[in-house]
């Protein structure tokens, strides 16, 4: 039993996005796992997704409350004025920061919490975790956060509550965190543990704390096609990845194992445990589950074994998070062909939507930045698209254009590749500019230049506010920045059907009139 009855609030802040982006609610799994762990340990903890507010709220006061910010982005979600009254009921305010563009919104949470703490003469500890908070830990600590979790947080959060509950809190006893003492940042280590590839001991994610009915009413998932009237949530069957693309957090996490533990490395839940997570979702009324694994396909045999644990009547799945495409082909007689049996297994357990991260047509870019993970010349991308469509799986794709040293000719090659795939049945294409996000190797490359590093650290929020895959690049690129930003839009408009682009634009943040319900 805890000496003090500490109450924890896990808050997902209101969001800011560019006007040409789409508003979507949170409901990300990180906070659900943290909450699950707190509740399993008998600690009182609540969840608040400030993009939609508490269940029953008028969405015009939350999700549809749009404010143009000074930086040009549009804010959506509960007004900050509502938060002090909520925060003063808690001893710990926790956020999970995985998107750099939301950094400002997390700093806002810490600022409010500290103000409430001062005005009410009540100790409130503010903590965060997730890939962005880890990578920008010094900035988070300078902006009101007391503790940043540097690794998987299910145990860390309990250690934090334990220490804060004790008469003499000792942060050195909390594993893998960053905090400040007398202005100096302290990073704690961890006692060595026996390595395991299995994650089963981890508490169930508290998805029941999500306002699932509100998300259902909105019908806007994190990505992929809108699904009006469908109750949905996320699931993880594994964590980490076998590759190390330089634009992905995995690349740098693997370099920093001493500090971060094995967070980027592959680990998995057992089929039985995955089945339990599915059961829990289904019992809540969920009929669509989004895979949120870093890389779901890494072991085909495992996925085949998982299939019966995933399959349910009236339950479908979506994988819009990227998955390694070389697993969709098999090599026979020296030639790659789509692995129809595997693709049919996916369709068989209910996969209805898949985003294919073909990334780039350029082998040079693929090898340099994307672990050489797919060879579009060898691995029959057209065959993959056709087989998926034949199996009844909706397939879209995202392409990366404008790597820092990529030429315009190479970009056009990728565009033409996308065009071919569309003509062969791919449902839609999107283009993104690779952003050197904090916590990736590409970011470390930029920071290796002292003038850029200084500028970034001095103007953090200016960078963070604009670190967007469809925005203007913040660092030098071979092709002019403006040309890249226009290409992202122009290619998208040119290659997709007008029906698709129009309906997508109709829910952009800049639209004051929101057409609901919208259909695709």
Which span (13-21, 108-116, 215-223, 243-251) binds ligand SF4, by CB under 6 A? 243-251
Residues 6+ apart with CB under 8 A from 60: none
Residues 6+ apart with CB under 8 A from 481: 472, 473
Which span (108-116, 122-130, 180-188, 266-274) binds ligand B12, by CB under 6 A? 122-130
d(CA 12, CA 402) in angstroms, rounded, equals 31
Cα–Cα distances in angstroms (integers) from residue 392 to residues 223, 228, 329, 425, 469, in the given order: 19, 20, 17, 12, 29
- Contact in structure between 141 and 46 (CB atoms under 8 Å): no
Q: CA 445, 448, 450, 451: dihedral to nearest 10 degrees?
A: -10
Decide: is 244 part of the binding site for ligand SF4 (CB under 6 A).
yes
- Contact in structure between 476 and 401 (CB atoms under 8 Å): no
Q: Which of 300, 326, 389, 432 binds ligand B12 (CB under 6 A)?
A: 432
Q: CA 482, 442, 468, 238: dihedral to nearest 10 degrees?
A: 150
Closest approach of Cβ 340 to ligand B12, in Å?
26
Cα–Cα distances in angstroms (integers) from residue 182 to residues 1, 108, 510, in the given order: 31, 23, 45
- Contact in structure between 353 and 225 (CB atoms under 8 Å): yes
Helices and strands in the chain: count of H runs, count of E runs: 20, 20
Q: Which of 94, 110, 112, 401 binds ligand B12 (CB under 6 A)?
A: 94
Sheet arrangement for strand 8-12:
45-49, 8-12, 92-96, 125-129, 147-149, 177-181, 184-187
Q: Which is nearer to ligand SF4, 125 or 324 (CB)?
A: 324
Q: How many residues bind ligand B12 (CB under 6 A)?
A: 39
Closest approach of Cβ 262 to ligand SF4, in Å?
15
Closest approach of Cβ 448 to ligand B12, in Å?
18
Closest approach of Cβ 484 to ligand SF4, in Å?
20
Query: Beta strands of 165-315 (E only): which ranges?
Result: 177-181, 184-187, 232-235, 238-239, 267-268, 288-291
Q: Which of 83, 157, 178, 245 binds ligand SF4 (CB under 6 A)?
A: 245
For 173, counting Cβ atoms within 10 Å of its Cβ (0-12 exposed, 13-18 middle, 19+ buried), the class is exposed
The residue assigned the tokens 């988070």 is 140
Residues 205-234 that bind ligand B12 (CB under 6 A): 222-223, 234
Closest approach of Cβ 236 to ligand SF4, in Å?
13
DSSP annotation string for 180-213: EETTEEEE---------SB-TTSPPP-GGGS-HH
The DSSP element (H or E) to which 446 belongs, if any, is helix 441-447
Decide: is 132 part of the binding site for ligand SF4 (CB under 6 A).
no
Residue 110's binding partner out of ligand B12, ligand SF4, none, with CB under 5 to 8 Å set by partner kind: none
Binding marks (x or -) toward ligand SF4, 247..286, rule CB under 6 A?
A: -x-x------------------------------------
Which span (156-164, 185-193, 240-248, 463-471) binds ligand SF4, by CB under 6 A? 240-248
Residue 241's binding partner out of ligand B12, ligand SF4, none, with CB under 5 to 8 Å set by partner kind: ligand SF4
Decide: is 30 part of the binding site for ligand B12 (CB under 6 A).
yes
Q: Which is nearer to ligand B12, 131 or 401 (CB)?
A: 131
Decide: is 295 part of the binding site for ligand SF4 (CB under 6 A).
yes
d(CA 318, CA 338) in angstroms, rounded, equals 20
Q: Which is nearer to ligand B12, 265 or 408 (CB)?
A: 265
Q: Which of 48, 52, 109, 149 binds ligand B12 (CB under 6 A)?
A: 149
Q: Which of 6, 110, 231, 248 binds ligand B12 (CB under 6 A)?
A: 248
What 8-state DSSP symbol labels residue 326?
G
Residue 371's binding partner out of ligand SF4, ligand B12, none, with CB under 5 to 8 Å set by partner kind: ligand SF4
- Within 10 A of 99 (CB to CB), how many other CB atoms are there? 20
Decide: is 14 part of the binding site for ligand B12 (CB under 6 A).
no
d(CA 133, CA 232) in angstroms, rounded, equals 27
Q: How many residues bind ligand SF4 (CB under 6 A)?
A: 12
Q: Which is nearer to ligand B12, 90 or 336 (CB)?
A: 90
Decide: is 98 part of the binding site for ligand B12 (CB under 6 A).
yes
Residues 6+ apart with CB under 8 A from 301: none
Decide: is 339 part of the binding site for ligand SF4 (CB under 6 A).
no
Q: Which of 76, 99, 215, 317 binds ligand B12 (CB under 6 A)?
A: 99
Closest approach of Cβ 298 to ligand SF4, in Å?
8
Q: Which of 125, 371, 440, 504 binds ligand SF4 (CB under 6 A)?
A: 371
- Within 10 A of 359 (CB to CB), how many other CB atoms are there? 27
Closest approach of Cβ 264 to ligand SF4, in Å?
8
Tokens read off for 6? 């500490």
Decide: is 260 part of the binding site for ligand B12 (CB under 6 A).
no
Q: Catalog residues that contact ligand B12 under the rule CB under 6 A.
A: 24, 28-30, 33-34, 94, 96, 98-100, 127-132, 149, 152-154, 156-157, 222-223, 234, 236, 248-249, 292, 294, 320-321, 398, 432, 437-438, 440, 469
Q: Catalog residues that contact ligand SF4 under the rule CB under 6 A.
A: 241, 243-245, 248, 250, 294-295, 322, 324, 371, 373
């Amino acid at each position: 039993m805890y000496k003090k009855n500490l109450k924890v609030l896990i808050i997902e802040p209101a969001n800011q996005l560019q006007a040409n982006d789409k508003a979507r609610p949170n409901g990300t799994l990180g906070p659900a796992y943290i909450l699950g762990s707190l509740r399993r340990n008998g600690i009182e903890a609540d969840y608040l997704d400030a993009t939609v507010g508490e269940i029953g709220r008028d969405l015009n006061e939350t999700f549809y409350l749009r404010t143009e910010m000074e930086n040009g982005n549009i804010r959506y979600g509960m007004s900050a004025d509502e938060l002090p009254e909520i925060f003063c009921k808690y001893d710990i305010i926790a956020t999970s920061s995985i998107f750099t563009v939301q950094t400002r919104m997390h700093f806002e949470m810490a600022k409010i919490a500290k103000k409430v703490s001062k005005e009410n003469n009540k100790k409130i500890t503010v903590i965060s975790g997730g890939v962005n908070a880890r990578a920008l830990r010094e900035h988070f600590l300078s902006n009101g956060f007391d503790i940043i979790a540097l690794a998987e947080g299910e145990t860390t959060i309990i250690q934090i509550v334990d220490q804060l509950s004790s008469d003499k809190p000792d942060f050195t006893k909390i594993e893998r965190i960053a905090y400040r003492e007398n202005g100096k940042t302290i990073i704690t280590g961890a006692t060595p543990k026996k390595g395991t590839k299995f994650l089963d001991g981890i508490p169930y994610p508290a998805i029941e704390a999500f306002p699932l009915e509100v998300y259902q009413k909105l019908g806007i998932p994190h990505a992929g096609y809108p699904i009006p009237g469908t109750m949905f949530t996320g699931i993880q069957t594994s964590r980490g990845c076998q590759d190390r693309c330089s634009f992905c957090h995995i690349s740098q996490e693997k370099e920093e194992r001493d500090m971060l533990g094995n967070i980027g490395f592959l680990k998995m839940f057992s089929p039985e445990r995955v089945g339990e997570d599915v059961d829990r979702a289904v019992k809540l009324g969920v009929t669509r589950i989004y895979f949120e694994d870093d890389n779901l396909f890494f072991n085909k045999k495992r996925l085949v074994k998982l299939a019966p644990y995933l399959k349910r009547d009236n339950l479908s799945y979506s994988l819009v998070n990227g998955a390694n495409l070389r697993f969709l082909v098999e090599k026979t007689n020296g030639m790659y062909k789509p692995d129809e049996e595997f693709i049919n297994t996916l369709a068989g357990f209910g996969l209805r939507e898949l985003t294919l991260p073909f990334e780039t047509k350029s082998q040079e870019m693929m090898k340099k930045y994307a672990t050489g993970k797919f060879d579009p010349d060898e691995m029959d991308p057209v065959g993959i698209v056709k087989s998926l469509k034949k199996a009844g799986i909706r397939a879209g794709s995202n392409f990366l254009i404008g790597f820092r040293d990529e030429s315009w000719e190479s970009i056009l090659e990728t565009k033409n590749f996308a065009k071919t795939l569309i003509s062969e049945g791919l449902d839609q294409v999107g283009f993104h500019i690779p952003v050197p996000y904090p916590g990736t190797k590409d970011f470390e490359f930029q920071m290796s230049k002292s003038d850029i590093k200084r500028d970034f650290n001095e103007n953090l929020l200016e960078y963070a506010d604009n670190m967007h895959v469809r925005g203007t690049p913040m660092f030098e690129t071979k092709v002019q920045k403006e040309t890249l930003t226009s290409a992202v839009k122009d290619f998208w408009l040119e290659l997709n059907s007008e029906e698709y682009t129009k309906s997508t634009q109709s829910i952009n943040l800049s639209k004051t009139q929101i057409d609901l319900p919208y259909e695709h």
